[in-house]
Structures are given as C-alpha cells and as structure tokens.
Structure 1
Amino acid sequence: MTAGGEGALVFIGFMGAGKTTGARAAAAALGVRAMDTDRALEERLGTSIEDYFASHGERAFREAEEDLVAEFLEDPPAPVLSLGGGAIASSRVRDLLRRHTVVLLDVDEPTAWRRAGGKKRPLARDRERFAALHAERSPMYESLADAILLDGAADTIRAASAALRDIPPGVKVVWAIAGGAQYPVYVGDVLDGQFWPVPGRRFVISDETVASLHGSRLPTAYARFAMEPGEGAKTLATAERLLRGLAEAGMDHDDHVVALGGGVVGDVAGFCAAVYQRGVGVVQVPTSLVAQVDSAYGGKTGVDLPEGKNYVGAYHQPRAVLADPRTLASLPAAELAAGWAEVIKTALIAGGGLWERVRRGHPNVDRELILACARTKLGVVASDERDAGRRQVLNLGHTIGHAIETATAYRRYRHGEAVGLGLLAALTLSAQPGLRTEVADLLAERSLPVELDPAVDRTAVLAAVQRDKKRRAGRVGFVLVEAPGKVQTGVAMAESDIRAALSELR
C-alpha cells in the first residue's frame, strides 16, 4: 500500500489470532468503523460457516468466501477489515490486498490451538491437521503483511494504530513490546530524508565514518555529535563527552537521541539517552549487519570497562527502530561478514525456516532476512525484557565471545568474529560435533575465524568467562544447543569442559 493511509487497514492471521477483536480495537482508536468478512459472509449465506461448510463442502465455501472478500477489497465498506484465516489462499484476494495496508496478527500454533481447537471451526478439530495448516499458511501471511503484531491484545493494537496507517512504501513494520514499552520497528527503504516517526528535536549521535556516509539520509537534526569508530570508543569517557555535548546544546525531555551507526554507536547513544536527565527518548538507526539483525532491538545499552564488556549499562527501550538494508552496501567486506555470526546465532535459536535459509549458505542480505532475525529477537524480548528467563537464549555464543573480546582488550577481533568463535565453543560444550562442523563451515564461507589466535591467552579468556556480568550466585550459566530451535539456558559447566572447548578452537 502507498504511504499516507490510502486503502483499508486489513487484519489477517491464523485461527485464534484475534483478528476480529483486533480490527475493532484499531477502528476504535482511529475513530472509524470495522467490518468482519466472516460475519458478513454468514449473513449473505443465511447460515453459519460451520453449517455451510458441512452441507456444501470446503470448495463451495471458499468460492463464496473469495467472492465476498474480493468485493470488500475492491470497494471497502469500512476503513478497517478483518478476514477469515483461509481467505488469503485465493490468488485473487492476495492480488487485491496489495491495494491496502495488511496487518498480520501473529500467533504460534500452540496458542492458536488453545484458543480455537475443538470449537465450532471446521478446520480446528484435528490437532495434526491444524498444525500442518498453520505451518503451510504462516509464510503466506508473512509475505502479504505490511505490519506484523506479535501481540493481538487490544491495548497493543490501539497503541500501534497510528503507526499502521503511515508505513512508507517498500517498508515492513514489526510492533515491538518489551515490559511497559512498545515501539515500531521499520525494516526496508525507510531512510529517505523525510520520514520520521517520532516528534521532537533530533540530537544525532554517530561515529565519524557513518556520519559522513549516511547523515544526509536523516531529516534535519537540531544537533549532531560524532564519536570515534570501534569498540575502543565504547567507554565512560566517550559517554561523558557526549552527555556534556547534549547538555550544552540544550536538549530537554521533549527531544530525543538518534543513534546512527553500528552496535557500538547504538549501545553508547542508547546509554546516553537512558541516563541523560534520568532518561530521554532514543531512536535506533542501525547501519551495520550486527545492529540490524540484533543489537538495535531489545533496549540493552552500555559501555565497556577494562574488566568486562558492557559492565556499565541500562535497559532503555527505543522509541522506534529504522533499519534500512541499503546502508549495508557501505560496509567493508570484513565488517559485513562479522554480522553473519549474529545471523547464524539467531537462526540456531529460531530453528525452522530461518535456520533452513541460513544453513543453505550465502543467503542474500535483504529485508526479509533482517525482518526474520528482528522478529526472532523481539519475540524473545516480549516474554522477558531483563534476562530473567527466556531472553538468556540470546546469549548463545556470547559468554565465551565476550570473554575473548575482553581478554584481547577489544582490539584483536570484531564483535561478530568473537561471537562466531563463541558459537563454536558453545556447540562443543553442547556435545554437538555435527552441528559444530556445519556452523564452522558457515563461518568459514564468510571468511570468519574458526580458530582462536594461538597468541591469545586462554587463561585470560577463562578468567574473563568467570567474571561474566550475567553470572548469578557466583555461577556462570551457559547457553547450549540441543538442536536448531531447541536451546537450553543457565547450564553450569565444569572449568575443565570450558578449557577443553577453548582448546578445540586451536
């Protein structure tokens, strides 16, 4: 759909996603009317969908459904519509949806079955068939959606409604939830020098390299600040200089910080926003692959100490994230390659289609890949903002990866390179030699290191592991992999096993 809110707002999703309720909530927030095609179809047929399905069969029902839904999409009777779960199976309906803003209410299969299974739905009586249908339709829903909501609660939809009506062309939106915060994540051709989703004056923090490459892609800023590039600049001294610059420029609570750059810039600028006047808004504009697939989402901010990576920090969720894959074209080859370690990590956590795409080797860096990684992380963070449980899966490969960075004073390896080595160590600890070999091959395809430099002091790495900031009660919990999509957290490992995993990196 074109920008500016033309066409209808159309809710799609599997059985039990809450499309009817979601459409009503959006309509109420926008002050307009909503219509549900299932209810309209029952009125036209003069009977319930269940009865018509039983007496005429699925084929006749789909033909009647297609005619009514196509009619509604050609000339919408209301500004907000909700479609039946199977309506998108029609190619005619899919073509017509291009005229509208399509909102997917995402729901996993267990939740959908709990809500819809065994009830008056013809296709929700057999669990095995239900699960197969969910797997079949999910990729179609995702391909059609302009916006994806991971939570169909009425409060969430009301909060997201304004953003759903203003999506730039070529862009998809995921609505993020973390604790009490909610924000839009825009993925696609979103940086055009005009679009901006957050009101107030913009105070841009970038590094010297990125500022010259991409600063003109943003709307006019009130003030701009540059830091040195690289992990070495991720310090309290850098944060102090930037904070004093914000104060001297007169930033107040109605303004916001813009973090334009890779993971280092995002962490430092986000940290400055978290502590400046006890917290102001931040918009993350990630320009590296590591940042676009991982670090820009979830609200972790911070700086390093000599004693450990990210030892000083705060949780501070962004007001919005704008991830434009076109910025990746300016990355040096080695920097782009380093981002693949985070892609592989995310795919191991997600399993399913994302892992299958990544394991085939050399997938394109495009909107869909970035979106899939972002969705995986946002889904985890939605259930656990502050590492109390599920979010710990995101530390896969990072316990030893961070220790390698710390032991080498953040100079020997890029973050993604260290994480790649950490992934291999984690798979050794997981007793998954076949998967370790496969991941090593994927890293090697990108010219990423699969052996730890012999000059690196393994004893120093082990000491840094024991100081990991996520340790609890003096114990470091590791993230281990049983299989792609099945990850354990908080696993205690003997020192001898950790040493052996480090030794295998030779």
Structure 2
Amino acid sequence: MTQLQPAIVFTGFMGAGKTTLAREVAHVLDVPVQDSDRLLTDRFGMEIEAFFAANGEAAFRAEESRLVGELLDGADGGVIALGGGALGSDRVRTALQRHTVVLVDVDLEVAWQRAHGKGRPLAQDREAFTALYREREAIYLAAADVVLPAGTGLGAVRGAIDAIRGLPSGPPGTRLLWASAGGAQYPVWVGRALLGHEGLPWPATGRRFGISDETVGELHAGRVRDLSGLIEIPPGEEAKTLQTTERVWRALVDVGATRGDHVVAVGGGVVGDLAGFAAATFQRGIPVVQVPTTVVAQVDSAYGGKTGVDLPEAKNYVGAYHQPAGVIVDTATLATLPPEEHAAGYAEVVKTALIAGGVLWDRIAAGEPVDDDVILACARTKLATVAADERDGGRRQVLNLGHTIGHAIETVTGYARYRHGEAVALGLLAALTLSGQEDLRDQVADLVAAAGLPVTMDPAIEVDAVLAATAKDKKRVGESTPFVLVGAPGDVTFGHQRGLPEVRGAIASLLP
C-alpha cells in the first residue's frame, strides 16, 4: 500500500489570513488546496455563522472535529487551511502529527480589526475575544512546525516555500521560523543536532568562512559542514572592537574571500555582532549565516540584523543593519555552556517574556526552565517585532527594555565587571522602578536571583557615572535619552522621558 504524503496545513487565529496564504502556496506548488470552513459550509448547506446561531458552538465543534479529522487522515499531499478553532479538538491535533503544520501568526489588535463586525460569532465581545486569543496561542504553538510572523504577505510566503518543503528532511523535532524584515527574508531553524546535518537546505551560496572565538571554535565550529576556513577571535566583550574587526577583514582578504562567499558566525552575542558587522562591511557587504551557541544569542541577538562593535565611550556605537541569510539554532550546543553563561542568557529571556506577555510570560513567571519551546517563543517574539520595524523607528525600540541602564553599567565598568546578561538583569530592575512597577520588580528580582543573576550593583560603581553614560545611549536623538517602560507583562512601550533625578534614583535603587 502506498504511503500517504504529508500535507502542508495552515492554522492560526481568526483574521490571520490562512486561507489566502494557503491558496498562494498551493498555486505555486501546483497542488490542490482545501479549506475546512468552506467544506463545512457545503456540508451544512448554510454559512457557518447561521449554523452556529441555530445549533450552538458545541454542535459546530463536533461537526468540525469530525470533518477535519477525516480530511487530515485522508490527505495525500496538497495544502489545507483550517478554521481558527479546529485545533481545540484532540482528534484534530492527533491527525495533524503526520503533516507539516504552518502557524500564521497574527497580532491580537490586527485580528480584532479584521474579525470584529464581520459576522463572526466569536468576535463580538473584545474581552472574550482577547481571552480566546490567549487560550489558543499555546495550542497553536504546541502544534506548529513552522511559524510565519505577523503580517506575512504573499511575497514572504513564496520565499518560504522551499524551506517549508525541506523541513521534513531535518532532524526529528526541527521547527522553522520564517523571518521577514524590510526586503530581507530568511529561515530560522530551531532544533537539536542541526550542526553537521545534511538534510536541511543551507541558506547561503558560495564558500563558507567561519568566524568564532577561541573557546567556541574548538567546541562547535568543526561541526559546521564544508567550512573553507576558520577565523578565531579572543573570547569576551573586550574583544568586540574595531581592532578585532580589522583582523577579521584582513583574514578574509588573506583567504581570498569574495562577494560570492559568506561568513558563518559560530558563537554567542559578541561573535554574532562582530562577525555580522565584518560581513556587512567587507567588500561593501557579504552574507552572514548566524549559528548562535549561547542562550543570549539563541533567544535574542542572532535575529534582526543588528551588528556592531563597542567603543570605550559606549556600547554598540559602531555598526550596521545587516540581516542574516539564515540562522541555525542548534539547542544542543547549550550543553557546553558554563552555568554563569546560562544565567546571563536568562535576563534576555525575562526581558522578552515581559514584552510578549501571554503564554511566554506565564511560563517564565512560573519558573519554568529555558527549554527549546521557550527559545522558539523568544525568537518568535523578536522576529515579529523586527518584521514590524526593522530599523528602530518605532516598535522595535521595546527590545531595548533594561538595556539603557544595563549598557551604561557595562560601559563604566569597561565591559569587564559584568556579563552582558548580568548588566541587563540590573537594567531590567531599574526600568521597572522607573515604570512604578514595584510588585513586578520584586517578582522579576526573585526570578533573576533564582537563576544566579545579580539584583544589586557593585557599590564601587558610581551612580553618577552610570547616569552620565545613559546620556550616550545610541538611541538618543534629542537632548534626553528615551526609556522603555512596563505597564504590565505584554504592555511595554517606548519613547518615555524621565528627569535626571528620577533616573538617578532608579540607578541608586540597585545599590545594596
């Protein structure tokens, strides 16, 4: 008996645009497409809204579960679009396991604007709509093999088709996030045993020149397939300088790298930032593939295209936006991290959870560990934010939560006293003080302390020196530095002005 082929199944909340994207993919692949809502309408002999009103939600869900389960069981390839509530059925979730499930992400506000007033029975009351969105979020993420970020258009989904089709060739459990920022699109592969695996399509062409630090290079660079050479830099933030970048540029010249080649950044945030900057500027720009090997890099810095190096006067003051050609997140590499590096990455996890709210914050607030699902959820949050604002003109600035004062602490201590994540943990607490969120500050302090991060600043550090350093923050465009503040988890906003006495008080609150 011939084995049935998996289908590509689109799912997501109402208003996500699943049907439109499914039709586009089916058109490109020249395969049939089926829409469960349309099939239900045909079975009922009336529109779903009318059946819902006449028979109630329970009757509708029973019919939906039966039809969708049969549809998925019998599918032999092709493309299928499911209604937003179909995954509420155990029967459907079981049937999905042999297929490639694509979650079409949609922002809550966008979903409401698209669904409200359109005759949808579950889009009448805003409070109930929000609760339903939060309830389904975890279900969608648990089932998804692929996540397309909010606002994914037809052009982006066309670019993602080859990566989606290639997903079953990866190691079991591999998932794909499709990134779209400005004019750039790229795959983010998340899973275990990805390094050295030959099944997934490599995201760049030409020769591959690795850039790593002397510690990580020995551990992981040799597992990257087909490297034509490896350039190593000293480990640590102190090496993130123009002088080190020049060494990398000249090493690329020595090995004969051309614009037809690319670099592979294997390491944490320092390696990723510096290698990305070197790639952005070498011969006016060559591609970079990011292979993050630390928690900080896997949950945050490897995505979004920010590259750069430090000056003695301020952190990340010289750099460029240079989106990667792809990101390969092999979470198994985290097993080689020392405990203090795991802890340093946790600060970025907490920051991202505060921005995301919802399911991710609930998990982190409950003290759950940083596993593959949390890493994927953090990457999803950052990619969605960057997709809406590539170059920090607005919403992307929320990703700076905790970093203004955190970076200032790093600067005045010469990038040697604290790891980046340790300084960010302190910066988060100061930002929550500025936000007037003392209860939430206490909760975050307990979380970061439990992870081994500092909650008080070295008393030898001068408060006024840190205050002065905040004035050199790279996001400053006027006479004062704007701050990112927190109203509640999931309610993080940018562009707030605070007076010097208030900022000084927030910094001083970090002293023991």
Most deviating of 92-101 and 50-59: 50-59
Aligned partner of 1:299 in structure 2 is: 305
Aligned partner of 2:472 in structure 1 is: 467
Match of 1:438 among 440, 443, 451: 443
AA of the residue aligned to 2:337: L
Equivalent residues of 1:22, 1:154 under 8 A apart: yes
Instruction: Verify: 1:170 aligned to 2:173, yes or no.
Output: yes
* Superposition deviation, residue 77 in structure 1: 5.7
Q: 1:223 to 1:6 in 2, by over 3 A?
A: farther
Please show how residues 107-126 of structure 1 align to structure 2 within 5 Å.
Answer: 107-126=106-125
Q: Distance in 2 between matches of 1:384 and 1:190?
A: 32
Find the residue that maps to 1:225 and give its secondary structure. strand
Equivalent residues of 2:187, 2:203 under 8 A apart: no
Q: 1:437 to 1:125 in 2, by over 3 A?
A: closer
Aligned partner of 1:230 in structure 2 is: 236
Q: 1:94 to 1:334 in 2, by over 3 A?
A: same
AA of the residue aligned to 1:257: V
Aligned partner of 1:27 in structure 2 is: 26
Aligned partner of 1:415 in structure 2 is: 420
* Superposition deviation, residue 190 in structure 1: 5.1
Find the residue that maps to 1:16 and give its secondary structure. coil
Most deviating of 496-505 and 276-285: 496-505
Find the residue that maps to 1:364 and give its secondary structure. coil
Instruction: Verify: 1:324 aligned to 2:330, yes or no.
Output: yes
Aligned partner of 1:51 in structure 2 is: 50
AA of the residue aligned to 1:185: V
Q: 1:50 to 1:466 in 2, by over 3 A?
A: closer
Deviations 1:21-41 (A, max 9, x none): 110111122232322122233
Q: Distance in 1 between matches of 2:66 and 2:362?
A: 36
Find the residue that maps to 2:98 and give its secondary structure. coil
Q: Distance in 2 between matches of 1:434 and 1:121?
A: 39
Instruction: Verify: 1:402 aligned to 2:407, yes or no.
Output: yes
Match of 2:495 among 490, 494, 498: 490
Most deviating of 237-246 and 189-198: 189-198
Instruction: Verify: 1:186 aligned to 2:175, yes or no.
Output: no
Match of 1:449 among 439, 454, 472: 454
Q: Distance in 1 between matches of 2:166 and 2:451?
A: 37
Find the residue that maps to 1:197 and give its secondary structure. coil
Equivalent residues of 2:138, 2:359 under 8 A apart: no
Aligned partner of 2:345 in structure 1 is: 339
Task: Name the count of aligned residue pairs.
Answer: 501
Q: Distance in 2 between matches of 1:89 and 1:459?
A: 55
Match of 1:383 among 384, 388, 395: 388
Q: Report the TM-score, using the length of structure 2 for normalisation.
A: 0.93
Equivalent residues of 2:267, 2:294 under 8 A apart: yes
Most deviating of 36-45 and 373-382: 36-45
* Superposition deviation, residue 449 in structure 1: 1.4
Aligned partner of 1:358 in structure 2 is: 364
Find the residue that maps to 2:433 and give its secondary structure. helix
Find the residue that maps to 1:174 and give its secondary structure. strand
Aligned partner of 2:132 in structure 1 is: 133
Instruction: Verify: 1:239 aligned to 2:238, yes or no.
Output: no
AA of the residue aligned to 2:433: T
Find the residue that maps to 2:72 and give its secondary structure. helix
Q: 1:250 to 1:100 in 2, by over 3 A?
A: same
Aligned partner of 2:282 in structure 1 is: 276
Equivalent residues of 1:174, 1:184 under 8 A apart: yes
Please show how residues 81-100 of structure 1 align to structure 2 within 5 Å.
Answer: 81-100=80-99
Q: Distance in 2 between matches of 1:308 and 1:90?
A: 53
* Superposition deviation, residue 57 in structure 1: 3.9
Equivalent residues of 1:66, 1:87 under 8 A apart: yes
Q: Distance in 1 between matches of 2:292 and 2:110?
A: 33
Aligned partner of 2:79 in structure 1 is: 80
The share of aligned pairs that are identical, in percent, is 59
